[in-house]
Chains A and B, each alone.
Chain A
Amino acid sequence: MEGWTIEQLEGKDVFVIEGQVAIPNNYSAGIVGSRFLVELRDNCRIMGIRCPKCDRCYVPPKSTCMECFGQLTEFVEVGKSGTLLTFTVDHHTTPVQTASPPNVYGIIKLDGADTGLLHLIGEVDGKAVKSGMRLEAVFNEERRGSILDIKYFRPAEAG
Protein backbone atom coordinates (compact mmCIF):
# COMPACT_ATOMS: atom_id res chain seq x y z
CA MET A 1 0.00 0.00 0.00
CA GLU A 2 1.21 3.48 -0.81
CA GLY A 3 2.99 5.42 1.93
CA TRP A 4 3.35 2.66 4.50
CA THR A 5 4.21 -0.99 5.00
CA ILE A 6 3.18 -3.69 7.45
CA GLU A 7 5.47 -6.63 8.02
CA GLN A 8 4.95 -9.76 10.09
CA LEU A 9 7.96 -10.85 12.12
CA GLU A 10 9.26 -14.25 11.01
CA GLY A 11 7.28 -17.01 12.78
CA LYS A 12 5.65 -14.61 15.25
CA ASP A 13 2.23 -13.04 15.71
CA VAL A 14 3.79 -9.59 15.82
CA PHE A 15 3.77 -6.94 13.09
CA VAL A 16 5.91 -3.88 12.48
CA ILE A 17 4.23 -0.95 10.79
CA GLU A 18 6.38 1.64 9.11
CA GLY A 19 5.38 4.69 7.15
CA GLN A 20 4.69 8.36 7.30
CA VAL A 21 2.00 10.86 8.02
CA ALA A 22 2.10 13.28 5.08
CA ILE A 23 0.71 16.70 5.92
CA PRO A 24 0.08 19.09 3.02
CA ASN A 25 0.93 22.68 3.99
CA ASN A 26 0.33 26.02 2.34
CA TYR A 27 2.20 28.64 4.28
CA SER A 28 1.50 32.28 3.54
CA ALA A 29 4.21 34.76 4.49
CA GLY A 30 1.65 37.58 4.67
CA ILE A 31 2.13 41.15 3.48
CA VAL A 32 5.04 42.05 5.76
CA GLY A 33 6.76 38.65 5.51
CA SER A 34 6.46 38.67 1.71
CA ARG A 35 8.16 42.05 1.50
CA PHE A 36 11.00 40.71 3.66
CA LEU A 37 11.45 37.65 1.41
CA VAL A 38 11.15 39.60 -1.87
CA GLU A 39 13.92 41.96 -0.71
CA LEU A 40 16.14 38.99 0.16
CA ARG A 41 15.53 37.44 -3.23
CA ASP A 42 15.75 40.49 -5.51
CA ASN A 43 18.16 42.80 -3.71
CA CYS A 44 20.03 40.76 -1.09
CA ARG A 45 18.77 43.22 1.47
CA ILE A 46 17.66 42.33 4.98
CA MET A 47 14.67 44.43 5.96
CA GLY A 48 13.38 45.24 9.40
CA ILE A 49 10.30 47.15 10.39
CA ARG A 50 10.34 50.03 12.86
CA CYS A 51 7.72 51.01 15.39
CA PRO A 52 7.52 54.84 15.32
CA LYS A 53 6.20 54.90 18.90
CA CYS A 54 8.65 52.55 20.64
CA ASP A 55 11.52 52.96 18.18
CA ARG A 56 12.02 49.19 18.15
CA CYS A 57 13.22 47.61 14.92
CA TYR A 58 11.93 44.08 14.33
CA VAL A 59 13.92 41.59 12.23
CA PRO A 60 12.29 39.57 10.80
CA PRO A 61 9.59 42.21 10.35
CA LYS A 62 6.13 41.77 11.81
CA SER A 63 2.92 43.70 11.26
CA THR A 64 2.16 44.39 14.94
CA CYS A 65 4.43 45.87 17.61
CA MET A 66 4.83 43.54 20.59
CA GLU A 67 5.11 46.49 22.99
CA CYS A 68 2.38 48.92 21.94
CA PHE A 69 0.35 46.72 19.52
CA GLY A 70 0.60 49.43 16.86
CA GLN A 71 0.36 48.54 13.18
CA LEU A 72 3.83 48.67 11.63
CA THR A 73 4.54 49.87 8.10
CA GLU A 74 7.95 51.57 8.21
CA PHE A 75 10.44 49.23 6.56
CA VAL A 76 14.13 49.91 7.14
CA GLU A 77 17.18 48.13 5.83
CA VAL A 78 19.42 46.66 8.52
CA GLY A 79 22.99 45.45 8.34
CA LYS A 80 24.09 42.17 6.79
CA SER A 81 26.31 41.71 9.84
CA GLY A 82 25.39 41.33 13.46
CA THR A 83 26.16 39.87 16.85
CA LEU A 84 25.38 36.32 17.93
CA LEU A 85 23.08 36.36 20.96
CA THR A 86 22.84 32.61 21.56
CA PHE A 87 23.24 29.34 19.66
CA THR A 88 22.83 25.57 19.75
CA VAL A 89 24.47 22.67 17.94
CA ASP A 90 21.99 20.14 16.54
CA HIS A 91 23.20 16.61 15.80
CA HIS A 92 19.84 15.20 14.61
CA THR A 93 18.38 14.95 11.15
CA THR A 94 14.73 15.90 10.69
CA PRO A 95 12.48 15.95 7.62
CA VAL A 96 12.42 19.75 7.68
CA GLN A 97 16.18 20.27 7.88
CA THR A 98 17.77 19.00 4.70
CA ALA A 99 21.33 20.07 5.57
CA SER A 100 23.33 17.20 7.05
CA PRO A 101 24.16 17.44 10.77
CA PRO A 102 25.71 18.81 12.84
CA ASN A 103 23.87 22.09 12.24
CA VAL A 104 24.59 25.19 14.26
CA TYR A 105 21.57 27.42 14.85
CA GLY A 106 22.06 30.92 16.12
CA ILE A 107 19.96 33.91 17.08
CA ILE A 108 21.64 36.90 15.49
CA LYS A 109 20.98 40.54 16.31
CA LEU A 110 21.77 42.36 13.09
CA ASP A 111 23.24 45.87 13.19
CA GLY A 112 20.33 48.28 13.46
CA ALA A 113 17.88 45.63 14.68
CA ASP A 114 16.47 45.29 18.19
CA THR A 115 15.43 41.64 17.91
CA GLY A 116 17.22 38.41 17.05
CA LEU A 117 16.91 36.50 13.78
CA LEU A 118 17.11 32.70 13.84
CA HIS A 119 19.39 31.22 11.19
CA LEU A 120 22.14 28.72 10.48
CA ILE A 121 25.78 29.38 11.21
CA GLY A 122 28.31 28.09 8.68
CA GLU A 123 32.01 27.98 7.82
CA VAL A 124 32.89 27.41 11.46
CA ASP A 125 33.18 24.39 13.76
CA GLY A 126 30.41 24.23 16.37
CA LYS A 127 33.04 24.12 19.13
CA ALA A 128 34.46 27.48 18.02
CA VAL A 129 31.12 29.31 18.08
CA LYS A 130 30.75 31.79 20.96
CA SER A 131 27.91 34.07 21.99
CA GLY A 132 28.85 37.65 21.23
CA MET A 133 30.85 36.81 18.11
CA ARG A 134 30.38 38.87 14.95
CA LEU A 135 28.67 37.19 11.99
CA GLU A 136 27.82 38.17 8.43
CA ALA A 137 25.17 36.89 6.01
CA VAL A 138 26.17 34.74 3.03
CA PHE A 139 23.56 34.86 0.25
CA ASN A 140 22.83 32.05 -2.18
CA GLU A 141 23.53 32.64 -5.87
CA GLU A 142 20.10 31.31 -6.77
CA ARG A 143 17.36 32.84 -4.63
CA ARG A 144 13.67 31.95 -4.58
CA GLY A 145 12.08 34.16 -1.94
CA SER A 146 12.87 32.00 1.07
CA ILE A 147 14.63 32.61 4.39
CA LEU A 148 17.20 30.17 2.98
CA ASP A 149 18.12 32.76 0.32
CA ILE A 150 20.54 33.56 3.10
CA LYS A 151 22.66 30.41 3.01
CA TYR A 152 23.94 30.96 6.56
CA PHE A 153 25.83 33.45 8.70
CA ARG A 154 29.60 33.06 8.94
CA PRO A 155 32.18 34.63 11.24
CA ALA A 156 32.84 38.20 10.08
CA GLU A 157 36.29 39.68 9.60
CA ALA A 158 37.17 41.84 12.56
CA GLY A 159 36.68 45.58 11.94
Chain B
Amino acid sequence: MSETIKVPTMAEYMAEGKKPEVLFWVGCAGSFDDRAKKITKAFVKLLHSANVDFAVLGTEESCTGDPAKRAGNEFLFQMQAVTNIEVMNAYEIKKVVTACPHCFNTLKNEYPVLGGDYDVMHHTQFLKSLLDEGRLTVEGGKFKGKRITFHDPCYLGRANNVYEAPRDLLKKLEVELIEMKRCKRNGLCCGAGGAQMFKEPEPGNKDVNIERTEDALETKPDIIAAGCPFCNTMMTDGVKNKEKEDSIDVMDVAELIANAQDL
Protein backbone atom coordinates (compact mmCIF):
# COMPACT_ATOMS: atom_id res chain seq x y z
CA MET B 1 0.00 0.00 0.00
CA SER B 2 1.72 3.14 -1.05
CA GLU B 3 -1.03 5.61 -1.73
CA THR B 4 -0.52 9.03 -0.32
CA ILE B 5 -3.56 10.43 1.36
CA LYS B 6 -4.01 14.09 1.93
CA VAL B 7 -3.49 14.98 5.56
CA PRO B 8 -3.29 18.69 6.24
CA THR B 9 -1.33 19.89 9.26
CA MET B 10 -2.22 22.69 11.63
CA ALA B 11 0.88 24.55 10.52
CA GLU B 12 -0.38 24.52 6.94
CA TYR B 13 -3.79 25.76 8.01
CA MET B 14 -2.17 28.48 10.05
CA ALA B 15 -0.08 29.58 7.08
CA GLU B 16 -3.26 29.94 5.06
CA GLY B 17 -4.91 31.79 7.93
CA LYS B 18 -7.57 29.10 8.30
CA LYS B 19 -8.83 27.02 11.17
CA PRO B 20 -10.12 23.47 10.78
CA GLU B 21 -13.36 22.19 12.23
CA VAL B 22 -11.54 19.60 14.28
CA LEU B 23 -8.05 18.49 15.22
CA PHE B 24 -7.36 14.83 14.59
CA TRP B 25 -5.08 13.68 17.39
CA VAL B 26 -3.34 10.70 15.79
CA GLY B 27 -1.51 9.41 18.85
CA CYS B 28 1.74 7.46 19.02
CA ALA B 29 0.28 4.09 18.09
CA GLY B 30 -1.67 5.62 15.23
CA SER B 31 1.49 7.32 13.97
CA PHE B 32 4.06 4.56 14.37
CA ASP B 33 2.51 1.14 14.93
CA ASP B 34 2.10 -0.69 11.62
CA ARG B 35 -1.27 -2.15 12.50
CA ALA B 36 -2.59 1.07 14.01
CA LYS B 37 -1.48 3.14 11.02
CA LYS B 38 -4.09 1.29 8.98
CA ILE B 39 -6.75 2.40 11.44
CA THR B 40 -5.49 5.96 11.16
CA LYS B 41 -5.78 5.82 7.40
CA ALA B 42 -9.23 4.27 7.46
CA PHE B 43 -10.40 7.03 9.77
CA VAL B 44 -8.89 9.74 7.58
CA LYS B 45 -10.69 8.29 4.56
CA LEU B 46 -13.94 8.52 6.45
CA LEU B 47 -13.19 12.12 7.40
CA HIS B 48 -12.57 12.93 3.77
CA SER B 49 -15.67 11.17 2.58
CA ALA B 50 -17.76 13.11 5.08
CA ASN B 51 -16.04 16.33 3.99
CA VAL B 52 -14.75 17.05 7.44
CA ASP B 53 -12.41 19.98 7.57
CA PHE B 54 -9.65 18.54 9.78
CA ALA B 55 -5.94 18.81 10.43
CA VAL B 56 -3.29 16.97 12.40
CA LEU B 57 -0.45 18.41 14.47
CA GLY B 58 2.04 16.25 12.60
CA THR B 59 5.56 16.60 13.89
CA GLU B 60 4.28 18.97 16.56
CA GLU B 61 2.28 16.21 18.20
CA SER B 62 3.91 14.39 21.09
CA CYS B 63 2.86 11.56 23.39
CA THR B 64 -0.02 12.68 25.64
CA GLY B 65 1.92 11.22 28.55
CA ASP B 66 -0.68 8.57 29.41
CA PRO B 67 1.72 5.62 29.67
CA ALA B 68 4.14 7.67 31.74
CA LYS B 69 1.38 8.77 34.11
CA ARG B 70 0.05 5.24 34.54
CA ALA B 71 3.56 4.00 35.13
CA GLY B 72 3.79 6.51 37.98
CA ASN B 73 5.87 9.19 36.30
CA GLU B 74 3.67 12.19 36.95
CA PHE B 75 6.55 14.48 36.22
CA LEU B 76 7.07 13.22 32.69
CA PHE B 77 3.33 13.19 32.12
CA GLN B 78 2.95 16.81 33.06
CA MET B 79 5.94 17.83 30.96
CA GLN B 80 4.32 16.17 27.98
CA ALA B 81 0.93 17.61 28.78
CA VAL B 82 2.15 21.15 29.21
CA THR B 83 4.12 20.99 25.96
CA ASN B 84 1.16 19.66 24.02
CA ILE B 85 -1.21 22.15 25.58
CA GLU B 86 1.09 25.01 24.62
CA VAL B 87 1.02 23.86 21.00
CA MET B 88 -2.73 23.28 20.92
CA ASN B 89 -3.55 26.55 22.64
CA ALA B 90 -1.31 28.42 20.22
CA TYR B 91 -3.46 27.02 17.40
CA GLU B 92 -6.59 27.88 19.38
CA ILE B 93 -7.86 24.32 19.15
CA LYS B 94 -11.45 23.87 20.28
CA LYS B 95 -12.35 20.38 19.21
CA VAL B 96 -10.25 17.21 19.15
CA VAL B 97 -10.98 13.73 17.85
CA THR B 98 -8.77 10.72 18.41
CA ALA B 99 -8.92 7.02 17.59
CA CYS B 100 -7.10 6.08 20.80
CA PRO B 101 -9.12 5.80 24.03
CA HIS B 102 -6.01 6.46 26.10
CA CYS B 103 -5.33 9.75 24.33
CA PHE B 104 -9.05 10.46 24.52
CA ASN B 105 -9.18 9.95 28.28
CA THR B 106 -6.04 11.93 28.97
CA LEU B 107 -6.91 14.86 26.70
CA LYS B 108 -10.47 14.99 27.93
CA ASN B 109 -9.99 14.46 31.66
CA GLU B 110 -6.43 15.23 32.63
CA TYR B 111 -5.49 18.19 30.44
CA PRO B 112 -8.14 20.70 31.61
CA VAL B 113 -6.53 21.32 35.03
CA LEU B 114 -3.28 22.03 33.26
CA GLY B 115 -4.86 24.64 31.01
CA GLY B 116 -5.91 22.52 28.05
CA ASP B 117 -9.70 22.58 27.84
CA TYR B 118 -11.01 21.07 24.61
CA ASP B 119 -14.09 19.31 23.39
CA VAL B 120 -12.61 15.84 23.02
CA MET B 121 -14.29 12.97 21.21
CA HIS B 122 -13.40 9.39 20.57
CA HIS B 123 -13.53 8.60 16.85
CA THR B 124 -16.56 6.33 17.33
CA GLN B 125 -18.43 9.21 18.96
CA PHE B 126 -17.35 11.55 16.21
CA LEU B 127 -18.36 9.15 13.45
CA LYS B 128 -21.68 8.65 15.19
CA SER B 129 -22.24 12.41 15.21
CA LEU B 130 -21.38 12.61 11.49
CA LEU B 131 -23.86 9.85 10.89
CA ASP B 132 -26.55 11.66 12.88
CA GLU B 133 -25.88 14.86 10.97
CA GLY B 134 -26.26 12.98 7.71
CA ARG B 135 -22.70 13.71 6.64
CA LEU B 136 -21.61 10.10 6.69
CA THR B 137 -23.48 7.10 5.40
CA VAL B 138 -22.80 3.74 6.93
CA GLU B 139 -24.05 0.73 5.05
CA GLY B 140 -23.72 -2.98 5.46
CA GLY B 141 -21.81 -3.60 2.28
CA LYS B 142 -19.60 -6.63 2.56
CA PHE B 143 -20.06 -7.07 6.30
CA LYS B 144 -23.80 -7.46 6.13
CA GLY B 145 -24.92 -10.41 8.24
CA LYS B 146 -21.46 -11.15 9.64
CA ARG B 147 -21.10 -12.14 13.29
CA ILE B 148 -19.24 -9.37 15.05
CA THR B 149 -18.43 -8.95 18.71
CA PHE B 150 -17.22 -5.66 20.14
CA HIS B 151 -14.50 -5.57 22.77
CA ASP B 152 -14.98 -2.55 25.05
CA PRO B 153 -11.74 -0.62 25.63
CA CYS B 154 -11.44 0.10 29.36
CA TYR B 155 -10.54 3.71 28.75
CA LEU B 156 -13.57 4.29 26.58
CA GLY B 157 -16.08 2.16 28.49
CA ARG B 158 -15.64 2.01 32.22
CA ALA B 159 -13.32 5.01 32.32
CA ASN B 160 -15.66 7.32 30.41
CA ASN B 161 -18.96 5.51 30.12
CA VAL B 162 -19.01 5.39 26.33
CA TYR B 163 -20.60 2.08 25.42
CA GLU B 164 -23.16 2.87 22.76
CA ALA B 165 -21.42 4.93 20.07
CA PRO B 166 -19.33 2.04 18.70
CA ARG B 167 -22.29 -0.33 18.92
CA ASP B 168 -24.61 2.09 17.14
CA LEU B 169 -22.12 2.28 14.29
CA LEU B 170 -21.75 -1.48 14.08
CA LYS B 171 -25.51 -1.94 14.02
CA LYS B 172 -25.64 0.40 11.03
CA LEU B 173 -23.41 -2.05 9.23
CA GLU B 174 -26.28 -4.52 9.41
CA VAL B 175 -24.07 -7.04 11.11
CA GLU B 176 -25.11 -9.54 13.71
CA LEU B 177 -23.74 -7.92 16.86
CA ILE B 178 -23.11 -10.54 19.53
CA GLU B 179 -22.08 -9.54 23.03
CA MET B 180 -19.44 -11.40 24.97
CA LYS B 181 -20.54 -12.65 28.36
CA ARG B 182 -18.46 -9.93 29.92
CA CYS B 183 -19.25 -6.72 28.11
CA LYS B 184 -19.81 -3.03 28.62
CA ARG B 185 -19.14 -2.09 32.25
CA ASN B 186 -18.23 -5.71 33.00
CA GLY B 187 -15.90 -5.99 30.03
CA LEU B 188 -12.56 -7.62 30.68
CA CYS B 189 -9.42 -5.64 29.96
CA CYS B 190 -7.24 -6.73 27.01
CA GLY B 191 -4.20 -6.49 29.25
CA ALA B 192 -2.49 -3.47 27.69
CA GLY B 193 -3.56 -0.61 29.94
CA GLY B 194 -1.68 0.95 32.83
CA ALA B 195 1.54 0.85 30.78
CA GLN B 196 1.42 -2.97 30.62
CA MET B 197 1.73 -2.62 26.84
CA PHE B 198 5.33 -1.63 27.29
CA LYS B 199 6.49 -4.29 29.72
CA GLU B 200 6.52 -8.02 30.24
CA PRO B 201 3.55 -9.22 32.28
CA GLU B 202 4.19 -10.04 35.93
CA PRO B 203 4.39 -13.78 36.70
CA GLY B 204 1.05 -15.54 36.44
CA ASN B 205 -0.55 -18.51 34.78
CA LYS B 206 -1.99 -16.86 31.69
CA ASP B 207 -1.81 -13.67 29.68
CA VAL B 208 -4.75 -11.33 30.01
CA ASN B 209 -5.18 -11.03 26.24
CA ILE B 210 -5.58 -14.81 25.95
CA GLU B 211 -8.29 -14.80 28.60
CA ARG B 212 -10.06 -12.01 26.74
CA THR B 213 -9.64 -13.64 23.35
CA GLU B 214 -11.30 -16.75 24.76
CA ASP B 215 -14.27 -14.60 25.77
CA ALA B 216 -14.44 -13.32 22.21
CA LEU B 217 -14.04 -16.74 20.59
CA GLU B 218 -16.94 -18.07 22.66
CA THR B 219 -19.23 -15.87 20.58
CA LYS B 220 -17.99 -17.61 17.40
CA PRO B 221 -17.35 -14.32 15.65
CA ASP B 222 -16.29 -13.66 12.07
CA ILE B 223 -14.78 -10.41 13.24
CA ILE B 224 -13.70 -9.02 16.59
CA ALA B 225 -14.29 -5.28 16.55
CA ALA B 226 -12.09 -3.00 18.62
CA GLY B 227 -11.97 0.71 19.29
CA CYS B 228 -8.41 1.06 20.52
CA PRO B 229 -5.07 0.42 18.81
CA PHE B 230 -3.71 -1.35 21.90
CA CYS B 231 -6.73 -3.61 22.30
CA ASN B 232 -6.38 -4.32 18.61
CA THR B 233 -2.79 -5.52 19.04
CA MET B 234 -3.66 -7.58 22.11
CA MET B 235 -6.65 -9.25 20.51
CA THR B 236 -4.78 -9.85 17.25
CA ASP B 237 -2.01 -11.57 19.22
CA GLY B 238 -4.62 -13.57 21.11
CA VAL B 239 -6.30 -14.73 17.92
CA LYS B 240 -2.89 -15.73 16.51
CA ASN B 241 -2.11 -17.62 19.69
CA LYS B 242 -5.33 -19.58 19.19
CA GLU B 243 -4.38 -20.13 15.52
CA LYS B 244 -7.57 -18.53 14.35
CA GLU B 245 -6.08 -15.69 12.34
CA ASP B 246 -7.25 -17.20 9.06
CA SER B 247 -10.89 -17.24 10.04
CA ILE B 248 -11.22 -14.30 12.42
CA ASP B 249 -10.23 -10.70 11.76
CA VAL B 250 -9.62 -8.12 14.43
CA MET B 251 -10.69 -4.76 13.06
CA ASP B 252 -11.28 -1.26 14.32
CA VAL B 253 -14.79 0.13 14.02
CA ALA B 254 -13.46 2.80 11.64
CA GLU B 255 -11.87 0.18 9.41
CA LEU B 256 -15.10 -1.77 9.26
CA ILE B 257 -17.04 1.28 8.12
CA ALA B 258 -14.40 2.33 5.61
CA ASN B 259 -13.97 -1.18 4.21
CA ALA B 260 -17.70 -1.77 3.98
CA GLN B 261 -17.80 1.08 1.52
CA ASP B 262 -14.56 0.07 -0.18
CA LEU B 263 -13.08 3.47 0.55
Whether chains A and B associate is no
